């Protein structure tokens, strides 16, 4: 997968979330966006997902330049999957209906029911299909969200801190699911604070801080020898304990 961003800026009132963020990267399976809280990672991911319009700058995905206009982005969004840290499941619908609804109403797949059944089975959720989100554990809810994103056979999946709301056991459960996706050659871009997972499972790491991409390198190279002083200090703090 190829990704290129040039000079992305995004402000929310007086807050400059992105300040000329640029990167150019090719990766086989997984790109991890890491960095300090408030540094711009989630905003960058939302721009890549077509959920936020940048104030300036350009984005190219696999050689195609994104047009930040609603009709153009609607077609783009149908080709990608997005998983949010807060799950974003419909609370009044069952796990089955949370997956089936976009397949039928948005994508209008003739085999929508077969797709929904297949992803529920794949992620060990078939026995929980009739349960509403409040009846599921946090790990199960996130697995439903991942299954919903995968059911459309997306070109790639974007994940925004998919384990941030989970306890350690549930975090491991969801990371196992993400590792399975990586092993199946599903392209992923994810914001994560799980440094061990990023080091072992990502092809490339983009270090985002202060609204900019300070470096974008192979994951092993980044963790062994970060180039910027900001990244070195970040890793020293994060990996201290």
Domain tally for the chain?
A: 1
CA pair distance 108, 102, nearest whole angstrom: 8
Domain presence at residue 58 = no
Q: CATH no. for residue 78?
A: 3.40.50.300
* 167 or 132, greater pLDDT: 132
Domain presence at residue 112 = yes
CA pair distance 28, 175, nearest whole angstrom: 18
pLDDT (0 to 100) of residue 35 = 95
Mean pLDDT, rounded, for 86-91 = 89
Mean pLDDT, rounded, for 168-183 = 87
Range of the domain at 96: 28-52+68-204+213-238
Domain presence at residue 57 = no
Q: CA nearest 208: which of 4, 10, 19?
A: 19
- Which pair of structure tokens corresponds to residue 195? 């440094």
Q: How far is CA 151 from CA 29, 145, 187, 188, 230, in A?
A: 18, 10, 14, 15, 39
Phi, psi angle pair for 70, to nearest 5°: -55, -45
Q: Is the pLDDT of residue 104 over 80?
A: yes
Domain presence at residue 62 = no
Domain presence at residue 78 = yes
* 139, 188, 4, 41: CA torsion to nearest 10: 20
pLDDT digits (tens, 9 = 90+) for 137-165: 999 999 999 999 999 999 999 999 988 87
Residue 16 exposed, middle or buried by CB count within 10 Å (0-12, 13-18, 19+): middle
Strand partners of residue 94: none
pLDDT (0 to 100) of residue 185 = 87
pLDDT digits (tens, 9 = 90+) for 20-30: 999 999 998 99
* In contact, 139 and 170? CB cutoff 8 Å: yes
Domain presence at residue 5 = no
pLDDT digits (tens, 9 = 90+) for 46-80: 999 999 999 999 999 999 999 999 988 999 999 99
The overall average pLDDT reported for the chain is: 93
CA pair distance 127, 130, nearest whole angstrom: 8
Q: CA nearest 190: which of 31, 84, 52?
A: 31
Domain presence at residue 132 = yes
| SS3 per-residue string spanning the chain | CEEEEEEEEEEECCEEEEEEEEEEEECCCEEEEECCCCCCHHHHHHHHCCCCCCCEEEEEECCEECCCCHHHHHHHHCCEEEECCCCCCCCCCCHHHHHHHHHHHHCCCCCHHHHHHHHHHHCCCHHHCCCCHHHCCHHHHHHHHHHHHHHCCCCEEEEECCCCCCCHHHHHHHHHHHHHHHHCCCCEEEECCCHHHHHHHCCEEEEEECCEEEEEEEHHHHHHCCCCHHHHHHHHHHCCC
Judge if pTM exceeds 0.85. Answer: yes
Domain presence at residue 2 = no
Neighbours of 123 (CB within 10 A): 18
Q: Is the pLDDT of residue 168 over 90?
A: no
């Amino acid at each position: 997968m190829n990704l290129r961003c040039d000079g992305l800026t995004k402000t929310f009132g007086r807050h400059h979330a992105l300040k000329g963020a640029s990167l150019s990267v090719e990766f086989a399976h997984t790109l991890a966006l890491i960095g300090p809280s408030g540094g711009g990672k989630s905003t960058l991911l939302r721009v890549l997902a077509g959920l936020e319009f940048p104030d300036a700058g350009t984005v190219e995905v696999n050689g195609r330049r994104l047009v930040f206009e609603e009709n153009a982005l609607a077609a783009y969004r149908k080709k990608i999957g997005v998983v949010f840290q807060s799950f974003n499941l419909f609370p009044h619908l069952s796990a089955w209906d949370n997956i089936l609804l976009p397949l039928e109403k948005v994508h209008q797949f003739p085999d929508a029911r077969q797709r929904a059944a297949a992803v529920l089975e794949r992620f060990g959720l078939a026995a929980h299909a009739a349960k509403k989100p409040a009846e599921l554990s946090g790990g199960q809810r996130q697995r439903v969200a991942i299954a919903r994103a995968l059911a459309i056979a997306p070109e790639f999946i974007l994940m925004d801190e998919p384990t941030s709301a989970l306890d350690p056991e549930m975090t491991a459960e969801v990371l196992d699911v993400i590792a399975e996706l990586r092993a199946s050659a599903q392209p992923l871009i994810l914001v994560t604070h799980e440094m061990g997972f990023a080091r072992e499972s990502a092809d490339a790491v983009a270090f985002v801080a202060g609204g900019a991409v300070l470096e974008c390198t192979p994951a092993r190279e980044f963790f062994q020898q970060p180039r910027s002083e900001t990244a070195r200090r970040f890793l020293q703090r994060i990996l201290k304990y």
